[in-house]
Amino acid sequence: MPELPDIEVYLSALRARIEGDTLERVRLVSPFLLRTVSPSPQDAEGRRVTRLRRLGKRIVIGLDGGILLVLHLMIAGRLHWKPKGTKLAGKLALAAFDFGGGTLTLTEAGSKKRASLHIVRGEEGLAALDPGGLEPLEATLEAFRSTLVRENRTLKRALTDPTIFSGIGNAYSDEILWAAKLSPAQLTRNLDDAEITRLRDAVQKTLRDWRDRLGRESGDGFPEKVTAFREEMAVHGRYRKACPACGSPVQRIVYAENEANYCARCQTGGRLLADRALSRLLGKDWPKTLEELERR
């Protein structure tokens, strides 16, 4: 799923292409993409783009008259910049937005179509879509601390909960926790002041570094390689590969449709976190430490 750094790079590319331009036409292939009734797509046509911004993991396109298009790409939705009037073809195409200078298309891979478009009016309409999480790049240490310990969650769940922190998902939470040298299973209220400071610093540095790196990769082009798995990442998507800090194999725990990737030596003192399915299956044979796993 595109997260804060990816969305910011999309926004930068869109500002250079559509800010100040006019949305001439909205073309929807899938009726399930649109999740609101009023205002309608036709109400948005003929209006000038006044502002682009991020709302969590959503892209907000503000138009004259207070109408806002709110796009949530979910896991497999992606944006593309095409010549004006490009026809929509193929199973992946969901929508096209025709501007004076070109066409923005939305595609989604996979059979489960989860991407969404909301068309709302004014800040009140936008507020209804806001999960309310703290903006991590703008957070003071005190605001970060109070938000983090508001509920006693594991760090992995706290970072990825949009009602707690805005824009962080599965991929960058792994990278943040590795940078902070903290276990994804550590409880938020068990952290001391030094660990909270280290986590806040890791959140801001990781997100800024990846935002800037992705921006440099895209340059003046439109970002087309938006993915949650990048070879340069330290632990996310690198199960069994070497940790760049200590060389130990990256570990993984899987739950529901998500996973947490971590380095046992750097983050958990060498202790392996219990994967619910595997530890239940293996019982007493489940290795408890990295050393035990390596002996086996």
| 155-202 tens-digit pLDDT | 999 999 999 999 999 999 999 999 999 999 999 999 999 999 999 999
In the chain, the domains with their CATH numbers are 4-127 (3.20.190.10), 136-295 (1.10.8.50)
Q: What is the pLDDT of residue 286?
A: 43
Amino acid of residue 200: R
At 144-163, the pLDDT tens digits run 999 999 999 999 999 999 99
pTM of the model as a whole: 0.91
CA distances from 291 to 59, 99, 266 (A): 45, 59, 13
Structure tokens at 198: 């280290």
For residue 110, CA distances in Å to 49, 185, 204 come to 31, 31, 32
pLDDT class of 275 with cuts at 50, 70, 90: low
Which tokens hold the place of 97?
């937005």
Whether the CB-CB separation of 94 and 115 falls below 8 Å is answered with yes
Rg (CA), the chain: 21
Element (H, E) at 13: helix 4-18
Nearest of 102, 113, 88, 97 to residue 59 by alpha carbon: 97
- Residue whose pair of structure tokens reads 């992606």 in the numeric block: 78
Q: What's the DSSP call for residue 271?
A: B
Q: What pLDDT, on the 0 to 100 scale, is given for residue 281?
A: 39
Q: What is the mean pLDDT of residues 250-262?
A: 87
